[in-house]
């Protein structure tokens, strides 16, 4: 078993943000697995702040009095199965029953009352509660007992002998052992509570950790460590009961290093020296790959060296403080010794305060308070409160559940190997699709053929969002911005060589495939959306190409496709379909809307088909070669929980996460849409004179059918598109809406007979649209409950938001649900007689904020 470090500490209050940051920074540095905290001064409103700064593994017991409150923390690297949580004595005793590596452990966090008169009754309550636990299960009892059992553990007499007797009875009855005392039987001058006054000191060993005698052999070591922000010391014991989660799947650059002037200067010197060595490599690409590896090692070494020096200074001061406290125990009234001890304490507090302030500057709670800067952090928080990404089970191809890490990784690798393996394509089908395509102008074609410049790369980097997960190399957008003056020219050189050789450096070709949960059974990998985490240098190049491509998208993509085309919006699609249905109701038109469900649309685009389609659109050979280089020999490693699979060849698909992915998909599907426009009759309107065939937003394709023969033409067009590009339609998930007197024919092709046809509302781009009502009830049902459910996840954080941050939460979580619907729908007879009570959500916010 891997060692588990259990610690206990009286914090002297963590209500203030900086004090909380000090405590959590101190605990992170100690790398403790389980921590019992006492005198936390927490309340319900503070819980989300703690979880935001520490992680999900925090459990509380609050109480009304100021000198109360306990919390038990699990390291983010530890994921025990929590079987039960019990506030045995609110604010004073918190019990967690957990399972770790098959062993059930009872973790009991104790904070005894400060008033000696209350302690006997308190310990009687503790005794009664412990009597309800299963004696065969492991018991860990720790905390601030405010009572000593041995005379050498206190500088004066025990003020409550009655409480000490009851506590001794608990220890004897449950066969508990004071771990630190067992490991240090002869040490009579080390204490956990020390108060140094001008001419006198008080000391006692109030903080202890008890372990069941049966499990004592699993306790390897124990230690006492000063905590500069408290008058109590931390007590830690190391035992072998750990179920550890691996760390991050790969290294990420710590952006806070960019605030260290010494690091910035040192890295510049390192990279300029590294640049002198490029001639020793067979290619600039190899030099660039190895340079990024060296940069990672440089950053790691710098961080470790800085931390090592700081931690060594803190450890030396801690030893000196403990030694002075031992000397004070022998001579508590020595004024010079008291003064020297106070000076050492101030030095230690200053170092810890500096470390804590650095952690606070980097903390998410600080970013939360600075939500006036924008909404990026808000979206990260909302995503964090969404579905968990932890995969516990996957289904094999035959439906067998797989739970072992190696089995699941193997299944993920096989699934995506199959998904990204290209199928044979039909050249004749391609020729049919490429007929009569629009083309870019000669001037635009020539402009797109020009070499990419440093200025274009700089503009691409400027437009890239920050606070995003990096690729395999771990280097972030912030890193490149800080060192762009020395890295930018090198990247231009690397790109020029890559274009000449036809392949990018290995670090640019590899991506981490992150899985985001969708709806449905999450044991099925088809219900996870793969997003490629690409290296920042790759994204800079792709973004520069994307900026060029965006200038001509409107010339080759029809107006009824709005995805990634500048000047077009998703509301163009919604307004078109809404007005068409309204026109049908007004004029008694009969037609049908058919929504096609493209299966794994982005992931099935054939690379050969895509590049040839670009040529058919009139893009020149140089620009097409830009895109060919980006996809050549591309690979991905699937990130499953905290591990990476072996590399999977990316033989087809446009990588979601690439700046070009949306534009490339819109171009890939456009020949299919052009074929539908040519072959389908659609719906012909006289006033205004207009022929409507389809509305498309990326792969959300909605067809307008009046002639029943169009349905057969749709199936034929889809077959051609599938043969040319590997695309596939899931006809079972496709759906249709009948308007007016339109009737489905009984003699449809077999694949079309599986379509779900109805006269009820059709869900299109998140809005229910109906042939009979302008505002279907389905758009408003359960809206109030959805608003309240969303807001309840945020109530604990609303108190620490600025006014604009609160407005952002309301806009994004409450009002956005209304704006999107109200911007599309016409409120008519279909609108509910009693609209949803969104005000209850606002009231929830008001109650969370309290009096202003």
Per-residue pLDDT tens over the stretch 86-116 = 999 999 999 999 988 778 899 999 999 988 8
Least trusted range by pLDDT, from 96-105, 422-431, 811-820: 811-820
| pLDDT tens, position by position, 513-556 | 988 888 777 888 988 889 999 999 999 999 999 999 999 999 99
Q: What is the mean pLDDT of the chain?
A: 84
Phi, psi of 695 (to 5 degrees): -135, 130
Torsion sign, CA atoms 121, 122, 123, 129: positive
Task: Specify which of 48-57, 370-379, 430-439, 703-712 reaches the highest per-range mean pLDDT.
Answer: 430-439
Give Cα separations from 398 to 401, 677, 849 (angstroms). Answer: 9, 41, 52
Q: What is the pLDDT of residue 276?
A: 92
Two structure tokens written together for 846: 């008001």
Residue-level length of the chain: 852
Q: What is the pLDDT of residue 852?
A: 42
Q: What is the pLDDT of residue 387?
A: 38
What average pLDDT does this structure show over 735-744?
Answer: 80
Q: What is the SS3 string spanning 647-706? A: CEECCECCCECECCHHHHHHHHHHHHHHHHHHHCCCEEECCCCEEECEEEECCEEEEEEC
Q: What is the pLDDT of residue 533?
A: 92
Q: What is the pLDDT of residue 779?
A: 82
In the predicted structure, residue 377 carries a pLDDT above the cut 60: no
List, as own/partner pairs, every contact residues 621-625 make where C-beta atoms lie below 8 angstroms and the sequence separation is at least 24, other chains included. Answer: 621/449, 622/448, 622/449, 623/445, 623/448, 623/449, 623/545, 623/548, 625/499, 625/502
**Who's near 16: CB < 8 A, 6+ residues apart?**
none
Listing DSSP states for 490-545 in one string gives: HHHHHHHHHHHHT---HHHHEEEEEEEE-SS-TTSGGGEEEEEE--HHHHHHHHHH
CB atoms within 10 A of CB 442: 10
Listing DSSP states for 256-309 in one string gives: GGGG-HHHHHHHHHHHHHHHTTGGGSS-HHHHHHHHHHHHHHHHHHHHHHHHHH
CB atoms within 10 A of CB 387: 11
Q: What is the SS3 string spanning 188-253? A: CCCCCEEEECCCCEEEECCEEEEEEHHHHHHEEEEEEEECCCCCEEEEEEEEEEECECCCCCCCCC
In the predicted structure, residue 744 carries a pLDDT above the cut 50: yes
Taking the C-alpha atoms of residue 767 and residue 822, their distance in angstroms, rounded to an integer, is 10
What average pLDDT does this structure show over 397-405?
Answer: 85
**Who's near 29: CB < 8 A, 6+ residues apart?**
311, 355
Task: Look at residues 608, 603, 671 and name the one whose alpha carbon lies nearest to residue 638.
Answer: 603
Task: Specify which of 241-255, 402-416, 565-579 reaches the highest per-range mean pLDDT.
Answer: 565-579
Is-contact 705 597, C-beta < 8 A?
no
Residue where the block lists tokens 């609108």 = 831
| pLDDT tens, position by position, 286-326 | 999 999 999 998 998 888 777 677 777 777 888 888 888 78
Q: What is the pLDDT of residue 801?
A: 63
Is-contact 177 218, C-beta < 8 A?
no
In the predicted structure, residue 245 carries a pLDDT above the cut 50: no
Task: Look at residues 518, 513, 561, 551 and name the one whose alpha carbon lies nearest to residue 533.
Answer: 513
Q: What is the pLDDT of residue 243?
A: 40
Is-contact 112 93, C-beta < 8 A?
no
Of the chain, the percentage scoring pLDDT greater than 90 comes to 46
Helix (H) or strand (E) holding 20: helix 17-30
Q: What is the pLDDT of residue 663?
A: 96
Taking the C-alpha atoms of residue 261 and residue 230, their distance in angstroms, rounded to an integer, is 32
What average pLDDT does this structure show over 739-751?
Answer: 68
In the predicted structure, residue 718 carries a pLDDT above the cut 90: yes
Pairing between strand 93-100 and 103-111? antiparallel
Task: Look at residues 522, 524, 516 and name the one whose alpha carbon lies nearest to residue 396.
Answer: 524
What average pLDDT does this structure show over 493-514?
Answer: 94
Q: What is the pLDDT of residue 2?
A: 61
548: which DSSP letter?
H
Phi, psi of 97 (to 5 degrees): -105, 120
| pLDDT tens, position by position, 157-201 | 888 889 998 999 899 888 888 999 988 888 888 899 988 776 677
């Amino acid at each position: 078993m891997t060692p588990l470090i259990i610690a206990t500490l009286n914090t002297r209050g963590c209500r203030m943000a900086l004090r909380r940051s000090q405590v959590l920074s101190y605990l992170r540095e100690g790398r403790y697995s389980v921590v019992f905290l006492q005198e936390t001064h927490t309340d319900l409103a503070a819980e989300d702040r703690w979880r935001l700064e520490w992680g999900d593994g925090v459990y509380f017991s609050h109480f009304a009095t100021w000198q109360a409150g306990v919390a038990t923390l699990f390291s983010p690297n530890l994921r025990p199965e929590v079987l039960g949580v019990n506030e045995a004595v609110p604010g004073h005793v918190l019990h967690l029953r957990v399972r770790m590596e098959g062993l059930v452990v009872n973790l009991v966090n104790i904070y005894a009352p400060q008033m000696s008169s209350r302690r006997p009754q308190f310990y009687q309550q503790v005794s009664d509660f412990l009597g309800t636990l299963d004696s065969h299960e492991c018991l860990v009892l720790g905390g601030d007992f405010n009572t000593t059992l041995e005379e050498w553990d206190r500088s004066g007499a025990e003020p409550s002998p009655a409480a000490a007797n009851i506590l001794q009875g608990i220890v004897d009855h449950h066969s508990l052992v004071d771990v630190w005392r067992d490991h240090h039987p002869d040490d009579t001058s080390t204490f956990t509570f020390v108060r140094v006054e001008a001419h006198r000191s008080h000391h006692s060993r109030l903080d202890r950790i008890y372990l069941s005698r049966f499990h004592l052999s699993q306790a390897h070591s124990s230690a006492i460590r000063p905590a500069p922000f408290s008058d109590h010391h931390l007590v830690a014991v190391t035992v072998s009961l750990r179920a550890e989660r691996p760390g991050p799947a790969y290294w990420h650059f710590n952006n806070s290093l960019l605030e260290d002037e010494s690091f910035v200067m040192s890295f510049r010197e390192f990279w300029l020296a590294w640049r002198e060595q490029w001639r020793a490599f067979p290619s600039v690409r190899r030099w660039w790959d190895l340079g990024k590896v060296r940069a990672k090692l440089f950053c790691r070494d710098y961080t470790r060296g800085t931390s090592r020096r700081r931690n060594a200074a803190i450890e030396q001061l801690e030893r000196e403080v403990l030694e002075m406290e031992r000397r004070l125990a022998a001579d508590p009234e020595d004024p010079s010794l008291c003064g020297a001890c106070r000076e050492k304490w101030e030095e230690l507090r200053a170092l810890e305060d500096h470390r804590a302030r650095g952690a606070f500057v980097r903390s998410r709670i600080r970013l939360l308070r600075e939500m006036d800067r924008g909404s990026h952090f808000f979206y990260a928080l909302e995503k964090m409160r969404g579905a968990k990404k932890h995969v516990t089970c996957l289904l094999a191809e035959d439906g067998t559940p797989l739970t072992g890490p190696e089995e699941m990784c193997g299944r993920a690798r096989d699934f995506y190997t199959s998904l990204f393996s290209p199928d044979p394509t039909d050249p004749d089908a391609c020729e049919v699709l490429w007929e009569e395509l629009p083309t870019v102008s000669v001037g635009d074609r020539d402009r797109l053929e020009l070499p990419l410049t440093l200025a274009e790369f700089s503009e691409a980097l400027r437009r890239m969002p920050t606070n995003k997960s990096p690729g395999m190399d771990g280097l972030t957008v912030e890193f490149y911005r800080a060192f762009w003056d020395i890295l930018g020219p090198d990247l231009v050189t690397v790109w020029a060589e890559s274009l000449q050789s036809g392949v990018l450096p290995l670090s640019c070709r590899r991506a981490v495939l992150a899985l985001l949960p969708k709806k449905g059974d999450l044991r099925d990998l088809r219900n996870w959306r793969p997003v490629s985490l690409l290296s920042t240098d790759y994204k800079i190049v792709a973004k520069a190409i994307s900026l060029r491509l965006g200038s001509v998208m409107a010339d080759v993509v029809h107006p009824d496709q709005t995805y990634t085309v500048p000047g077009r919006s998703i509301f163009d699609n919604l307004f078109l379909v809404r007005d068409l249905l309204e026109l049908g109701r007004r004029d008694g038109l009969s037609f049908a809307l058919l929504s096609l469900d493209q299966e794994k649309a982005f992931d099935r685009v054939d690379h050969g088909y895509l590049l040839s389609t670009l040529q058919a659109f009139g893009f020149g050979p140089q620009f097409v070669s830009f895109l060919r280089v980006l996809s050549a020999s591309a690979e991905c490693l699937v990130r499953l929980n905290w591990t990476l699979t072996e590399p999977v060849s990316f033989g087809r698909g446009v990588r979601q996460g690439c700046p070009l992915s949306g534009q490339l998909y819109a171009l890939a599907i456009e020949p299919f849409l052009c074929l539908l426009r040519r072959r389908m009759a659609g719906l012909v309107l006289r006033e205004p004179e207009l022929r409507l065939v389809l509305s498309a937003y990326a792969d959300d394709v909605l067809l307008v059918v009046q002639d029943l023969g169009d349905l057969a033409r749709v199936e034929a067009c889809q077959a051609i598109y599938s043969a040319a590009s590997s695309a596939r339609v899931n006809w079972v998930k496709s759906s249709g809406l009948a308007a007016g007197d339109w009737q489905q024919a009984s003699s449809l092709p077999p694949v079309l007979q599986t379509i779900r046809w109805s006269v009820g509302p059709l869900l299109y781009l998140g809005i229910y649209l109906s042939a009979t009502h302008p505002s279907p009830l389905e758009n408003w049902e359960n809206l109030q409950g959805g608003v309240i459910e969303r807001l309840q996840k945020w109530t604990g954080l609303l108190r620490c938001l600025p006014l604009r941050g609160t407005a952002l939460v309301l806009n994004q979580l409450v009002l956005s649900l209304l704006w999107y619907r109200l911007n599309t729908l016409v409120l008519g007879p279909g609108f509910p007689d009693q609209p949803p009570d969104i005000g209850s959500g606002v009231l929830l916010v008001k109650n969370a904020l309290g009096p202003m």
